[in-house]
């Protein structure tokens, strides 16, 4: 069943942040007696055929009728996505730490909110630890948050881990690569004696070889874990070490020992990975072992898996110069890079593609840089390095000297972008500029572009973007109550009055065409926030809009997120009255200030011309309703409308659900906002984001 997820790791041992809002309430019914089962369903004998609803109550039904649970589920819940929260412990951490996940399902189709890994060029950003294939749940991947579920369908969006006495032997390159070559055919687990000798005579010292040699698979796994747990190996959990090809790219200048150390660690990791996944190692034992491995060992296994899948040893000897490797992904990666450059409208496209073709013929693509070696070899650890590997490879191949100014981009500073040749700007999908401008650009391989140029950056210049963490936070209680808080039927009951539901729809015909992006501007932050040269400068970003002829600057202050709504089926669906919302056109959003009360303004200061789903609430509950009311922004028509809505969200620090009304009805989008404790929904109308206009 399709799943979607978001992951958060948070400390639980500290007092609440003063900006934290209380846990979001569950929907309520006006008469508590209903929740106790008092009242009676009155079926009128009318049989309703399955199909999209066009009115509420349905034809032939009175608003005074009460539905049974089964009938209510048929009319209200059919095809509605269900959202469930999960709180899971973090291995090797104290009980004060936990991981929060969500899973969604239930629209009776194969659609989901997740971008296709192949189409988005993000296959190498994720790795399922147990077995091959795609991850089913977000906690199955090594990288957290899981990039298997990270990027949403809509551009710029995302979706809703005593000393044994065993030591390693000193080995030379020839022995290491001889074994790597052998392991390409798999582990010799059908020959216990050979499996023991190949490990302990070459790579490990068995302290019990006389009295009790370690011939059992479990003992060998334990020994390899103990050896790889020693502190003198390379720690791939450190982001600085996650471009692994830097350890083997240039071994000729005093770093041959580092090359040997890397390869030694690699071969031991492969020995361990193959034993863990051996047919002799039961599934139950494997499921129990993998989550308990130290993070450093898990990343060692990820490196081993990438090497085994994508690298082949063609020749070897005792020196680095004798090592000859073949990269199985190279042809695919060349096609991917060419397509990436074309889709991003790379300013120096012709010369860059010619240079890539020339270097491919000369077999020198992988010696351009360590980033290029990683990209073309496929030796890419899961996580956030891949977007920088593909873009840095493109920049390194481009023969234009102007690219020298773009040489300092790194995954260690992911909130960044750059301008090239005054033609276009490009932004990481992780940066707030990329998230906001995405509707007008392509979203590919973790990058958003080509975006409009700016006069505030040099002809070719990198810009790091400063932004604040939003005040909106989910609590563990919010996650664990997600299902109840977003139930399409409302609170549990024995009967469900028809009058408590309403069929809602946006006004998709009244399209706003008075919004246009005017400027993308950047202001250098004070020197005390800058790093010394040659590190790129840090900027505050602003997008200026013309709204009906009036200029409105929107500072991208907060690093908010935009959640791609999970698709529903058989919609539109009725909405329970206690899911309160207001609608507003994109060009009216400028008049709304402090939606949700994050800054403590009174409700009167936040009013605007809207339609609402207000129900029969008491005055005492009105303040909480004002804080939880969902603002539905109708951003149909030109893409600038959605950019304006996203910029407004960043300006005020409000994350939002983005719903394409051709795939997700308005009611389901509002319920997903309630599930995620968000107070903004942006509605779009299946815009063709990636056209060439």
Does residue 668 share a domain with residue 635?
Answer: yes
- Per-residue confidence (pLDDT) for residue 619, from 0 to 100: 43
Mean pLDDT of 366-386: 96
Examine the pLDDT at 358 and tell me if it is beyond 90: yes
Of 268, 296, 317, the one marking the end of a domain is 317
Q: Do both 360 and 219 map to the same domain?
A: no
360 and 410 both lie in a single domain = yes
- Tally of domains within the chain: 3
- Determine the pLDDT at residue 574: 96
Average pLDDT for 211-225: 85
Indicate whether 348 and 283 sit together in one domain: no
Residues 502 and 641 in one domain: yes
Give the DSSP letter string of 155-208: TT-B------S-EEPP--HHHHHHHHHHHTT---TT-HHHHHHHHHTTTEE-TT
- With cut-offs at 50, 70 and 90, classify the pLDDT of residue 97: low
Q: What is the helix (H) or strand (E) element at residue 219, kind and residue range?
A: helix 217-228
As given in the structure block, the two tokens for residue 407 are 């040489």
What pLDDT shows up at residue 165? 61
Considering 465, 485, 520, which residue would you say is the last residue of a domain?
465
The rounded mean pLDDT for the chain is: 85
In a domain, 606, yes or no: yes
Q: What is the pLDDT of residue 608?
A: 44
pLDDT of amino acid 564: 95
Q: Which candidate, 193, 259, 189, 267, places its Cα nearest to that of 227?
A: 267
Is residue 688 scored above 60 in pLDDT?
A: no
Statement to judge: residues 508 and 648 lie in one domain? yes
Across 57-61, 266-270, 353-357, least confident range: 57-61
pLDDT of 59 reads 79
Does residue 254 have a pLDDT over 80? no
pLDDT band at 444 (very low <50, low <70, confident <90, very high): very high
Residue 46 inside a domain? The answer is no
- 150 HSE (CA, 13 A, CB side): 24
Q: What's the length of the chain?
A: 693
Co-location of 657 and 583 in the same domain:
yes
pLDDT at 93 over 70: no
Per-residue pLDDT at 119: 84
Give 518's contacts (C-beta < 8 A, 6+ positions apart). 544, 545, 546, 551
> Is 233 inside a domain boundary?
yes
Assess whether pLDDT exceeds 70 at residue 335: yes
C-alpha distances in Å from residue 242, one per residue of 132, 380, 445, 576: 21, 8, 18, 48
Using 50, 70 and 90 to split pLDDT, how confident is the model at 352? very high
pLDDT tier at 37 (50, 70, 90 boundaries)? very low
311 and 391 co-located in one domain: no
Residue 9: its pLDDT value, please? 39
More confident residue, 32 or 147: 147
Residue 97 lies in a domain: no
Please determine, for residue 100, whether its predicted confidence score (pLDDT) is greater than 50.
yes
- Which is more confident, 4 or 429? 429
Taking 90 as the threshold, does the pLDDT of residue 367 lie above it? yes
User: What is the pLDDT confidence band of residue 618, given thresholds at 50, 70 and 90?
Assistant: very low
Residue 116 has pLDDT above 60, yes or no: yes
pLDDT for the residue 690? 46
In terms of domains, do 524 and 667 share one? yes
Report whether pLDDT(615) > 60: no
- For residue 67, tell me if it sits in a domain: no
Query: Is residue 151 in a domain?
Result: no
> Can you give the pLDDT at residue 623?
56
- Residue ending a domain, among 317, 347, 362, is 317
Please give the average per-residue pLDDT across 431-460, as a whole number. Answer: 97
pLDDT tens string 280-296? 888 888 888 888 899 99
Q: Which tens digits make up the pLDDT trace of 473-531?
A: 888 999 999 999 999 999 989 999 999 999 999 998 889 999 999 999 999 999 898 99
**Residue 478 falls inside a structural domain:** no
Specify whether 515 is located in the same domain as 649: yes
Which range among 207-216, 594-603, 613-622 shows the weakest confidence by mean pLDDT?
613-622
520 phi, psi to nearest 5 deg: -115, 115
Q: Write the DSSP string, 151-170.
A: BBSSTT-B------S-EEPP
Give the span between the Cα atoms of 46 and 59, in whole angstroms. 9
**What does the pLDDT average to over 675-684?**
96
Residue 255 shares a structural domain with residue 338: no
Mean pLDDT of 25-46: 51
Instruction: Indicate whether 423 and 369 sit together in one domain.
Output: yes
C-alpha distances in Å from residue 73, one per residue of 79, 359, 484, 501, 573? 10, 62, 15, 12, 11
Domain assignment of residue 44, yes or no:
no
pTM: 0.85
Whole domain around residue 347: which residue ranges?
Answer: 330-377+385-429+432-465
Is the pLDDT reported for residue 2 higher than 60? no
């Amino acid at each position: 069943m399709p799943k979607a997820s978001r992951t958060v790791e948070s400390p639980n041992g500290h007092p609440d942040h003063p900006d934290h809002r209380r846990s979001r309430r569950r929907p309520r019914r006006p008469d508590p007696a209903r929740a106790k089962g008092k009242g009676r369903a009155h079926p009128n004998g009318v049989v309703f055929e399955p199909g999209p609803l066009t009115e509420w109550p349905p034809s032939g039904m009175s608003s005074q009728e009460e539905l049974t649970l089964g009938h209510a589920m048929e009319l209200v819940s059919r095809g509605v996505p269900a959202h469930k929260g999960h709180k899971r412990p973090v291995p090797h951490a104290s009980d004060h730490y936990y991981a929060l996940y969500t899973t969604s399902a239930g629209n009776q189709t194969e659609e989901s909110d997740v971008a296709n890994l192949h189409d988005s060029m993000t296959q190498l950003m994720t790795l399922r630890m147990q077995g091959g294939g795609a991850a089913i749940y977000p906690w199955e991947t090594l990288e957290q948050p899981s990039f298997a579920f990270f990027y949403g369908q809509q551009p710029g969006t995302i979706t809703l881990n005593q000393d044994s006495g065993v030591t390693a032997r000193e080995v030379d390159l020839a022995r290491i690569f001889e074994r790597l070559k052998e392991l390409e055919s798999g582990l010799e687990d059908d020959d216990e004696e050979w499996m023991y000798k190949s490990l302990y005579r070459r790579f490990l010292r068995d302290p019990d070889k006389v009295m009790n040699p370690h011939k059992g698979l479990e003992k060998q796994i334990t020994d390899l874990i103990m050896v790889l747990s020693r502190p003198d190996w390379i720690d791939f959990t450190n982001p600085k070490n996650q471009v692994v090809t830097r350890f083997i790219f240039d071994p000729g200048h005093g770093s041959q020992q580092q090359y040997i150390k890397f390869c030694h660690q690699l071969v031991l990791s492969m020995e361990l990975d193959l034993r863990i996944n051996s047919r002799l190692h039961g599934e139950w034992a494997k499921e129990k072992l993998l989550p308990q491995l130290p993070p450093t060992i898990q990343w060692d296994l990820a490196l081993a898996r990438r090497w085994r899948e994508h690298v082949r040893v063609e020749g070897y000897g005792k020196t680095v110069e004798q090592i000859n490797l073949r990269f199985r992904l190279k042809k695919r990666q060349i096609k991917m890079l060419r397509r990436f450059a074309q889709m991003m409208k790379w300013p120096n496209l012709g010369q860059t593609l010619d240079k890539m073709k020339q270097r491919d013929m000369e077999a020198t693509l992988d010696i351009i840089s360590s980033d290029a070696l990683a990209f073309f070899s496929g030796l890419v650890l899961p996580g956030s390095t891949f977007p920088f590997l593909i873009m840095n490879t493109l920049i390194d191949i481009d023969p234009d000297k102007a690219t020298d100014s773009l040489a300092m981009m790194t995954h260690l500073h992911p909130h960044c972008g750059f301008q090239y040749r005054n033609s276009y700007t490009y932004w990481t999908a992780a940066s707030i500029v990329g998230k906001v401008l995405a509707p007008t650009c392509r979203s590919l391989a973790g990058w958003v572009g080509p975006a409009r140029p700016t006069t505030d950056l040099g002809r070719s210049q990198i810009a790091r973007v400063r932004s604040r963490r939003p005040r909106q936070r989910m609590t563990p209680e919010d996650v664990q109550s997600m299902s109840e808080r977003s139930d399409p039927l409302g609170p549990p009951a024995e009967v469900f009055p028809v009058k408590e539901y309403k069929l809602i729809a946006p006004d998709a015909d009244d399209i706003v065409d008075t919004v246009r992006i005017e400027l993308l501007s950047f202001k250098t932050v004070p020197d005390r926030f800058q790093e010394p040269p040659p590190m790129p400068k840090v900027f505050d970003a602003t997008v200026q809009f013309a709204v009906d002829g009036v200029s409105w600057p929107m500072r991208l202050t907060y690093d908010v997120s935009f959640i791609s709504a999970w698709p529903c089926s058989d919609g539109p669906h009725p909405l329970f009255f206690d899911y309160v919302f207001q609608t507003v056109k994109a060009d009216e959003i400028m008049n709304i200030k402090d939606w949700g009360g994050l800054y403590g303004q009174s409700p009167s200061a936040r009013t605007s011309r809207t339609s609402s789903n207000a129900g029969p609430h008491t005055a005492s509950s009105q303040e909480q309703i004002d804080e939880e009311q969902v603002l539905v922004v109708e951003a149909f028509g030109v893409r600038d409308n959605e950019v304006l809505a996203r910029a407004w969200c960043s300006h005020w620090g409000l994350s939002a659900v983005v719903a394409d009304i051709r795939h997700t009805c308005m009611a389901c989008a509002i319920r997903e906002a309630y599930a995620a404790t968000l107070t903004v929904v942006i509605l779009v109308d299946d815009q063709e984001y990636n056209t060439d206009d």
